[in-house]
């Protein structure tokens, strides 16, 4: 059975240098899927390729959402199909208020009563935004800006919510809070694709995990199984074992898949 999102053998390059090399993965409807990897592995590039944010990419391969090809489509068209994207760094507008951001997230919609209901729903997920509703976004803390970026995306009523490094720059307490809310959003029916460097936290709320190295996936599986894998523990969760650097290279070659 095909997933809600199907990415098949995509290759994406910047300035003639391939950043993604034949990557394939599936996101099942109703799931939380986490893509893990070190800096420069290509995690954000995969998300931008899915969202049509890299011109003329992917160079090869296909991206399908609910059975419909979306590669090489305009980002606006992809969003209208029901995919919301929260980019790394949040990209909020400093001189717009919290309320204005939420209305911006609903720009594809015409149902005023539904928009009001969803603003209230966002406030239930993120109560601090209610207290800041008329405040300029540029005056919010980093954690509040992350909540606002997520709330803005939820105003689309997306079937798939894509999150790029939601824990970036946040304190450990706020990270736990953000991930608890992501779990709630998923339980309410939204499928989630998550890119995250905090591997332990990401796997704790995910059903499926994928590990990316140098533009290729080297491992995939159930999140609970990855959390117990001795190599994943050492190289991604920071739990040391006797595995050597040479052993890590052998492991990557053994696990490599396209």
DSSP per residue, 98-119: HHHHHHHHTTT---HHHHHHHH
DSSP annotation of 196:
-
Q: For the residues 216-241, what does the mean pLDDT come to?
A: 85
Q: Which residue has the higher pLDDT, 250 or 153?
A: 153
Parse the chain into domains and list their residue ranges.
1-82+162-258, 91-157
CB 206 within 8 A of CB 223: yes
Measured distance CA(170)–CA(72) in Å, rounded: 34
pTM for the model: 0.90
Task: For the domain covering 1-82+162-258, report its CATH number.
Answer: 3.40.50.300
Could you report the per-residue pLDDT of 38-79, keeping only the tens digit for each? 888 999 999 999 999 999 999 999 999 999 999 999 999 999
* Confidence at 256, pLDDT banded by 50, 70, 90: low
Report the chain's mean pLDDT, rounded to a whole number: 91
Residue 189 reports pLDDT greater than 70: yes
pLDDT tens profile 12-37: 998 778 899 999 999 999 999 999 98
């Amino acid at each position: 059975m095909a997933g809600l999102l199907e990415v098949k053998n995509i290759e994406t390059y910047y300035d003639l240098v391939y950043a993604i090399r034949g990557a394939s993965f599936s996101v099942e409807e109703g799931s939380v899927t986490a893509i893990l990897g070190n800096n420069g592995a290509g995690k954000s590039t995969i998300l931008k390729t899915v969202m049509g944010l890299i011109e003329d990419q992917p160079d090869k391969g296909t991206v399908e959402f609910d059975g419909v090809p979306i590669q090489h489509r305009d980002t606006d068209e992809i969003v209208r199909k029901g995919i919301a994207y929260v980019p790394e760094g949040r990209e909020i507008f400093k001189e717009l208020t919290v309320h204005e951001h939420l209305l911006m997230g609903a720009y594809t919609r015409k149902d005023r009563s539904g928009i009001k209901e969803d603003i209230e729903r966002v406030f239930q997920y993120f109560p601090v935004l209610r207290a800041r509703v008329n405040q300029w976004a540029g005056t919010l803390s980093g954690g509040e800006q992350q909540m606002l970026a997520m709330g803005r995306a939820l105003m689309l009523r997306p079937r798939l919510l894509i999150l790029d490094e939601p824990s970036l720059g946040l304190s450990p307490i706020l990270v736990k809070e953000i991930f608890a809310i992501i779990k709630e959003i998923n339980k309410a029916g939204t499928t989630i694709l998550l890119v995250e460097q905090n591997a332990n936290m990401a796997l704790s709320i995910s059903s499926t995990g994928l590990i990316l190295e140098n533009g290729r996936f080297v491992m995939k599986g159930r999140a609970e199984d990855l959390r117990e894998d001795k190599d994943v523990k050492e190289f991604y969760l920071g739990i040391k074992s006797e595995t050597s650097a040479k052993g890590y290279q052998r492991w990557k070659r053994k696990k490599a898949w396209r």
